[in-house]
A = this chain, B = another copy of it.
Amino acid sequence: MHSTFRLVLDCPDQIGLVAAVSQFLSSIQASILEASHHTDIHLQRFFMRHEIAADSITLSDEELRIGIQDLAQKYDMKWSLSRSTEKRKVALLASKESHCLNDVLHRWHTGELQCDIPCIIANHSSMQKFADWHQVPFHLIDFTNKTKAFEEIEHLLEHYKIDLTVLARFMQIVPNELCEKLAGKIINIHHSFLPSFAGAKPYQQAYDRGVKLIGATCHYVTSTLDEGPIIEQEVMRISHSDSSVDMVRKGKRCEINALANGMRYHLEDRVIICQNKTIVFN
């Protein structure tokens, strides 16, 4: 895979934005591999993402950033620039369930998920052997004192310079302050089709309500439980004949797929959070 730059920006909408950005990119001979934009007509706000062949640009990174900053100032743009080869550091937080961990680690090994995974943090020892297999440092946190436990986790995230924290079926509620500190950099996989069945035991809730489809939701974590911006959702059909074992099996498949897409979109800078929603350029 070639090295690319990802330029993501958003600003108040006005005529000529696409022209201004693409003219700038053209002026530096940037070869655009992918480009997407969107205008939120209610908010009158413009969103844009470019994926650019890195070797098509002769400017230094510093020069490139200065050029973008000039443009950004003119149009009041928020922007970010990243290189596909500078991999983000991802921490996986887990409990007893292995399916999300297994899938994420496999996609990471095979290069589908472009990131580093410097640590797995868990409140149960059951994933220890699993982490060892994948040669990822495993940190078991004692949750008898929750406040202390999350201090320890925060310390680890800092220690490993984590860019993205993924709650891969981590069954603990993250404290508000940590949510806010990690805003936009912490992702959860919830095992229901939100906003239905937020909170505990969503499969039981789904069973009790008698829905005909179950799902999973990958979303950013905010201080309001299960109400952060949704990145991806998956559903599967169920019927009266599905036992609780069947529902869990089907649900796991939804969780795996929603999480894999959600992580990929984030790691490839395809997601822009706007208020409590996301724009996903996929």
Question: Which residue numbers of A lie inside 8 Å of B, CB to CB?
Answer: 1, 15-16, 18-20, 22-23, 25-27, 29-33, 35, 37-40, 56, 98-99, 102-103, 106, 109-110, 112, 133, 193-197, 209-213, 215, 229-233, 235, 239-241, 245, 249, 253, 257, 276-280, 282
Contacts and interface: CB of A to CB of B under 8 A. Distances in A.
B30 A25 contact: no
A235 B37 CA distance: 26
A239 to B, nearest CB: 7
Contact of A195 (B209, B277, B282): B209
Given A98-B110, A253-B257, A240 B280 contact: yes
B38 A241 contact: yes
A210 B230 contact: yes
A138 to B, nearest CB: 15
24 contacts: A15-B29, A15-B30, A18-B25, A18-B26, A18-B32, A19-B22, A19-B27, A23-B23, A40-B240, A98-B106, A133-B133, A193-B196, A193-B213, A194-B211, A195-B197, A209-B277, A210-B276, A211-B230, A211-B233, A212-B230, A212-B280, A213-B233, A239-B282, A253-B257
A279 B98 CA distance: 32
A69 to B, nearest CB: 19
A279 B109 CA distance: 33
B15 A19 contact: no
Nearest to A134: B133
Contacts of A231: 212
- Identify the interface centre among A19, A98, A106, A110: most chain B CB within 10 Å of its CB: A19
Contacts of A103: 106
Given A19-B22, A40-B240, A212-B280, 16 more contacts: A15-B31, A16-B22, A18-B18, A18-B26, A18-B32, A19-B23, A35-B37, A38-B241, A98-B106, A99-B110, A102-B106, A195-B211, A210-B230, A210-B277, A213-B215, A240-B278
A212 B233 contact: yes
Contacts of A27: 19
A231 B282 CA distance: 20
A212 B29 CA distance: 33
Contacts of A19: 19, 22-23, 25-27
A128 to B, nearest CB: 14
A239 B106 CA distance: 26
Contacts of A39: 33
Contacts of A15: 26, 29-32, 56
Nearest to A195: B196
